[in-house]
Amino acid sequence: MASDRLSLVFGALADPIRRAILTRLSEGEATVAELAAPFSVSQPAISRHLKVLEIAGLVSRSRRATARLSRLEAGPLREVTTWLARYQRFWDESHERLDDLLTALQARQEEDSGPHPAVTAKRNDDE
Amino acid sequence: MASDRLSLVFGALADPIRRAILTRLSEGEATVAELAAPFSVSQPAISRHLKVLEIAGLVSRSRRATARLSRLEAGPLREVTTWLARYQRFWDESHERLDDLLTALQARQEEDSGPHPAVTAKRNDDE
């Protein structure tokens, strides 16, 4: 298992329960019991997930009176988003290709329906 | 190991060699030999990494003559970026909190150094 920072963060996010824990923590700090409540998972299992999130820097833990609270730390999410951003042009490009295709299809459809009043055929859902 | 789509993509990204493979493929299609070249890793090991990337939908493979080429598929990267985007307000907020803190510190420092020349006391590490 790779232990560099980005790998730790991506690895921590590669689990639906850990992502759900982060979503819950985005609403505010929570105890292990509160985090375990929505899942059919034991509190020790939630604690192990929290440990993975803590090692990745995604969660910090503090003690208030007898309660141990977990808190979302969003910084590493910014780091992975920055890493992902450099691939944005690739999905933008595939979007552009799709847009071009749609424009071409639309143009051809208008051409087909241009000379004769076939445009009413598109409105039959109004009837 | 979780097998939902987002978990597969995050899991695939949780390895520096697999991320480096994606970076290489962002420059164009490549064979396993070409992908293995920069690493001290065997071609079978690279093939295993490619399999993980392929299952996550991040790489597609095609055959051209005798060569088997891998190609970047950026769609899943958009999906994980969309998932991450909802946490953006948290890192923005922590930025704002930091900005507020810096502004407050700066204001206090200016206040302190205003009436009396106590500012020299803070510079004793220059001596």
How far is Cα B34 from Cα B71, in angstroms, rounded to an integer?
A: 12
Decide if B117 touches A, using CB distance below 8 A: no
Cβ pairs bridging A and B (under 8 Å): 84
Residue B26 pLDDT: 94
Evaluate if residue A49 carries a pLDDT over 80.
yes
How many CA atoms within 13 Å lie on the side-chain side of B22?
27
Name, of A51-60, A67-76, B111-120, the range with top average pLDDT: A51-60
pLDDT bin (cut points 50, 70, 90) of residue A102 is: low
Predicted confidence at residue A125, as pLDDT, reads: 43
- State the residue for tokens 């039959």: A124
| A74:B85 CB<8 A | no
Instruction: Determine the average pLDDT of the residues in A24-46.
Output: 94
Q: Return the exposure string of B65-90: e unless at least 16 CB atoms fall within 10 Å of the residue's CB, then b.
A: eeeebbebbbebbbebbebbeebeeb
pLDDT at site B27: 93
- Please give the distance of CA B2 from its chain centroid, rounded to a whole number: 21
- To the nearest whole angstrom, how far is the Cα of A120 from the nearest Cα of chain B? 37
Put simply, the answer to whether A26 touches B90 (Cβ < 8 Å) is yes
Q: Cβ–Cβ of A2/B22 closer than 8 Å?
A: no
Query: Which chain A residue shows the shortest CA-CA distance from B74?
Result: A91
Long-range CB contacts for residues B85-91, cutoff 8 Å, separation at least 24: B85/A81, B86/A26, B87/A22, B87/A26, B87/A72, B87/A74, B87/A77, B88/A78, B88/A81, B90/A26, B90/A72, B90/A74, B90/A77, B91/A74, B91/A75, B91/A77, B91/A78
Band of the pLDDT at A126, cuts 50, 70, 90? very low
Which residue out of B1, B4, B10 would a mutagenesis test of the A interface target, given it has the greatest number of A Cβ atoms within 10 Å? Answer: B10
Question: For residues A78 and A60, what is the distance between their CA atoms, to the nearest angstrom?
Answer: 16
Q: How far apart are CA A95 and CA B76, in angstroms?
A: 13
Q: Tell me, yes or no, if A27 comes closer than 8 A to chain B by beta carbon.
A: no
Q: pLDDT digit string (tens) for A12-27?
A: 999 999 999 999 999 9
Q: Which residue has the higher pLDDT, A90 or A74?
A: A74
**B28 close contact with A: CB closer than 8 A:** no
CA distances B93 to A42, A77, B111, Å, are 32, 13, 27
- What pLDDT, on a 0 to 100 scale, did the predictor assign at position A109? 66
- Across the range A40-60, mean pLDDT stands at 96
Residue of B nearest to A91 (CA): B74
In the predicted model, what is the mean pLDDT of residues A35-62?
95
Using a CB-CB cut-off of 8 Å, the residues of chain A touching B4 are: 16
How high is the pLDDT of residue B101?
63
* Buried b / exposed e along A81-104 (16+ C-beta atoms within 10 A): bebbeebeebbeeeeeeeeeeeee
| Inter-chain touch B84–A87, beta carbons under 8 Å | no
Within 8 A of B7 by CB-CB distance, chain A residues are 14-16
* Rounded average pLDDT per 10-residue block, chain B, 127 residues: 85 97 95 93 95 97 89 92 87 67 69 52 41
Chain B nearest CA to A72, separation (Å)? 9
- The residue behind tokens 């899991």 is B11
